Chain A
Amino acid sequence: MKKIVFMLGCFSMLFLTACKKELSDNFITYTNHPLNDTAWARNVSGNASIHELTELLLPANLVDSFEIARDTTLKYGDSLEISFTAGSCVSTSGAVPTGKIKLELVRLKNKGDYIKAFRPTTSSSNLLETGGAFFIRVTKAGKDLVLAPGATIKIRFSDTEDTKNNLQVFNGTENNPIPTSGIDTAFTWNRDADTSLIKTFQKSSNQGPGTGLLIKGYEMIVKNLRWTAAERFIDSTRPKTKITTILPLNFTNKNTVVFAVFADQKTVVNLRGDYPSRSFAARNIPVGSKLKIVTISRIGNDLYLGTKDVTDVGSVTAYSVTPVNKPLKDILVFLNSL
């Protein structure tokens, strides 16, 4: 018996060598691949991948034309009317163009549009609540026109939410020169010198008087072309704090933009990259705010979307977000849903 056991033991030992061994592999990283670039930039260059986002996400613009020599009201459904007075647009040199001029219009209706246009509702570091924003460009023969001194543009637009009563006109301040592409990281909203409140209106929908559908909106008098918005500063009496978003090492300020989208108001805050802490941060966030952190990254040819719901900004102000690779379509759907 002992011999048999011994023999079986020897025989079984022989087959131990038949066990499958782990395969080995030798992984070598690409040296210039964006995913492997985990370095942060003190100053994001113009060729950083974040600038590609604007090209991908920019809301569709509306192109039209009208006769500049007479008063014109352009109506786009029952939610938007733009009225030009005759001779309101002149060239930068003050010359009055004749004939039709070209109108390019971008409307920021919801919070996702602000993200897509990379126009957060902030004035410097102050948070704004918006009713809507527009990018209005009038060109004649490819040259930008400006409003003539004292001339105005009346914009009547409906809001996706209930109208706010104390909105003011804010003008977008762009970098100088205006970047031809990419994100204008220096953009900010500045309240117009005319701090009068924007009128609101309510009317029946064009769908038919019998429908009972009411259109509520604002009638905003604009004195500047390009970016203009109906906004207001948020309640400044609430305590504020700085929130920080931490992303994996692959996501840097060169390929990622981070926004805080408030849940209960139309406010979108950009969390700028904080080089020392390799994080994204925003100040003046009211304590107790409910918001959603949204990150959009462009690494190589891949897009990443990260979200995190913050129900109550409080003692914990650092939020870790893990973006996931998403196709552009999904990201747009998500942004439109905000």
Chain B
Amino acid sequence: MLDNEFDNFVNGKLKDHAAPVPAGLWDKVADAQFDSFFNGKIKDKEAPVPPGLWEKITDPSPFDNFVSGKLKDYTAPVPVGLWEKVRPQEKDDRKGFAWFRNPGMAIAILAGLLLAGSLGDYLYTTSGNNTNTGSANKAITKPSQKEHTNENVKLSRPNNQPAVISDPSAKEPLHGDQKANTDAITGIPKKEEKATSNEASANSPATSSQASTAPITPHVNPSALGTESAALLRPALRNKSSFSLESKNNSVINGLPGNSAIVVNGNRFSDREKNLLQANSNPILINKSTTEEKSFEFIEPYHTNLLTAVTIPTGLNRFDGLLTLSDKQLMAGKHTSQFRNVVICPTDRKSRNTDLQLEIYTSPDFAFRSVKNNTASQQYLLRKDSSESMRVGFTAGIRLVKHITDNILVKAGVQYSQMNQKYVYRTENEVKTITVVSVRTIIRAPGDTVIVRDTSILQQIGYKNNTVINRFRSFDIPVTVGYQFGDEDLKIGINAGVILNVSSWYQGVLLDSSLATVPIAKGNANMVYKSNIGLGLYGGISIVKKLGEDLHIFAEPYIRYNLSNMTTPQASYNQKFCLGGISVGLRFNLNR
């Protein structure tokens, strides 16, 4: 017989077979003895909730204040070496108040504090809104610590009921109706419940969650509980609808097909949430309120922590009237201790940079002249064109560099520019004098020869091709905005801005209307050139190389275009320059 045939045979035989469960089996399975022990001990016990407890718990103000007080100035210490890993070369020895120097970090810390506060408030508020769950959970389901186990035992669970916490709206201990409701909730036969423990208990959870009484949703995190505590609670959980619900859900979650929807407390989880739930495999999570679940997806990175945080261990003695604010503090301390270090990421220093730097630079300039005829004759323009040719000039300046971020910077300063123009013209009848020493042999008489050395001046006449360097000088204020990128060692930037002319003056010669060369002395007013050439546009690409901690060298090819003519409207021609050059200089960090 093949295996397949054997399977079919067995299946046919056993398909409709039903075997009764032996009496006590379930008790054995469920550790009935343990349950009986507990039943005997706490069956008739009820733990009255101290008056005002709920008010203290549910009153958000003290707690908020407490949490706020604890977290307001809280800063998570950055692990040693973290900065070295992030910025291994940076040594921050700057002086001054750190918050001013690094507002980004301050903002990040404040944001972290705000987030933490909001989170705490949110958790608390959420718990407050579901007092029957959150509060109860806090009050009851903290037996993660061993020392609380016995206190948990004190919780009255009559009729094997789970520790039913009163209706938060009543804020009263469990009595009367609440108990009845609890009974109603927990009125599911054990057997049936056990039998269907692995089934989707969609109906049961709905019943429990939709009950008028507060759904019992003890947020017990087995992982957070001690092994013994988990063992102690296991039967109780199993016997109670809500507990069974979570166990069911847990089972469902664990055994859920990939495309199956998870319904917890009437909430339908998406696949993504399901995956997250599966990833966490935390049954407590399943019993979280709708609000928590809804919010769950927004705090994915911390969901584990959140889950842990929800299960704040606390002593049950609070029910004995010890839930004071100090208890809350203790609880909060434990609460916060349950957080894995909320790592506040190192401030993104690139987002804010307060560096102030000073640049000193010089540049060879190449000027490109643009001349347009106004009223000049063609002969004049030809003579001018043949006489003038541009030469290399220079620019030198100093400017401050303010980093808006590590990438964006603003530069402003002062600079001096000098454009040089070669002007060649010819002058006639120029006399050049040369000092010469002449040696003459004079024969005064036969046999009487005298050598006479005479220093005299030789004059020569001719024409002179004069070369004059016309200097077009200006004093400007450059204001640029740049974007730079790269690593610490080498950065490339793009800069653009304007150059405001403060003053311009000229020295040299020019061709007058009679084609004669006339000089323009420095400081003399003339009718040709302006004393202020106005606005210019600037664009450049910079390459910055780090030389030291506070010293950089940079080269910046640039182009400057003057928007207006440098000549006056009365001039016979319009002339303007466009400059190109390569600025080379040093950048000093003034913050160090």
A-side residues, CB < 8 A to B, are: 3, 7, 10-11, 14-15, 17-18, 21, 23-30, 33, 35-36, 38, 241-242, 244, 246-250, 274, 276-279, 281, 317-318, 320, 322
Least distance between A246 CB and chain B CB atoms (Å): 5
Is B440 positioned at the interface, with any CB of A under 8 Å from its CB?
Answer: yes
Is B452 positioned at the interface, with any CB of A under 8 Å from its CB?
Answer: yes
B-side residues, CB < 8 A to A, are: 358, 360-362, 394, 396, 398, 416, 418, 430-432, 436, 438, 440-445, 450, 452, 454, 456-469, 586, 588
**Contact between B467 and A25, CB atoms less than 8 A apart:** yes
12 pairs from A and B in contact (CB 8 Å cutoff) = A11-B398, A17-B362, A23-B468, A25-B465, A26-B467, A28-B462, A35-B431, A35-B459, A244-B444, A278-B438, A279-B440, A318-B450
For B449, give the chain A residue with the smallest CB separation.
Answer: A277
**Contact between A317 and B444, CB atoms less than 8 A apart:** yes
Main secondary structure on chain A at its contact with chain B? mixed
> Which chain B positions have C-beta within 8 A of A24?
467
Known: A17-B396, A281-B442. A249 touches B456 (CB 8 A): yes
Known: A23-B467, A30-B463, A36-B460. A15 touches B450 (CB 8 A): no
> Which chain B positions have C-beta within 8 A of A21?
469
> Which chain A positions have C-beta within 8 A of B430?
27
Known: A35-B460, A322-B457. A3 touches B432 (CB 8 A): no
> Which chain A positions have C-beta within 8 A of B466?
23, 25
**Contact between A242 and B438, CB atoms less than 8 A apart:** no
Least distance between A188 CB and chain B CB atoms (Å): 22
* Bound-state Cα–Cα, A26 to B461, Å: 13
**Contact between B462 and A276, CB atoms less than 8 A apart:** no
> Which chain B positions have C-beta within 8 A of A26?
464-465, 467
For A24, give the chain B residue with the smallest CB separation.
Answer: B467
For A246, give the chain B residue with the smallest CB separation.
Answer: B454
> Which chain B positions have C-beta within 8 A of A27?
430, 432, 460, 462-465
> Which chain B positions have C-beta within 8 A of A281?
442
A-B contact count (CB 8 A): 109
Pairs A-B, 6 closest by C-beta atoms: A29-B462, A14-B396, A248-B456, A26-B465, A14-B362, A35-B461
> Which chain B positions have C-beta within 8 A of A318?
440, 442, 450, 452
For B457, give the chain A residue with the smallest CB separation.
Answer: A248
Which of A11, A23, A248, A279 is the one whose CB lies under 8 Å from B458? A248
> Which chain B positions have C-beta within 8 A of A248?
456-459
* Bound-state Cα–Cα, A14 to B430, Å: 37
* Bound-state Cα–Cα, A248 to B450, Å: 18
**Contact between B418 and A322, CB atoms less than 8 A apart:** no
**Contact between B467 and A3, CB atoms less than 8 A apart:** no
**Contact between A246 and B588, CB atoms less than 8 A apart:** no
Least distance between A31 CB and chain B CB atoms (Å): 9
> Which chain B positions have C-beta within 8 A of A14?
360-362, 396
A15-B396, A29-B461 given; 15 more Cβ-contact pairs under 8 Å:
A7-B588, A11-B360, A18-B396, A18-B416, A23-B468, A25-B464, A25-B465, A25-B467, A27-B464, A30-B463, A246-B438, A246-B440, A246-B452, A247-B456, A277-B442
Least distance between B520 CB and chain A CB atoms (Å): 14
**Contact between B460 and A29, CB atoms less than 8 A apart:** yes
**Contact between A38 and B458, CB atoms less than 8 A apart:** yes
Known: A7-B588, A25-B467, A30-B461. A277 touches B358 (CB 8 A): no
> Which chain B positions have C-beta within 8 A of A246?
438, 440, 452, 454, 456
> Which chain B positions have C-beta within 8 A of A36?
460-462
* Bound-state Cα–Cα, A197 to B456, Å: 47
Least distance between B75 CB and chain A CB atoms (Å): 34
**Contact between A242 and B444, CB atoms less than 8 A apart:** yes
> Which chain B positions have C-beta within 8 A of A18?
394, 396, 416, 418
Least distance between B471 CB and chain A CB atoms (Å): 8
* Bound-state Cα–Cα, A63 to B361, Å: 86
> Which chain A positions have C-beta within 8 A of B394?
17-18
Least distance between A273 CB and chain B CB atoms (Å): 12
**Contact between A277 and B440, CB atoms less than 8 A apart:** yes
> Which chain A positions have C-beta within 8 A of B450?
317-318
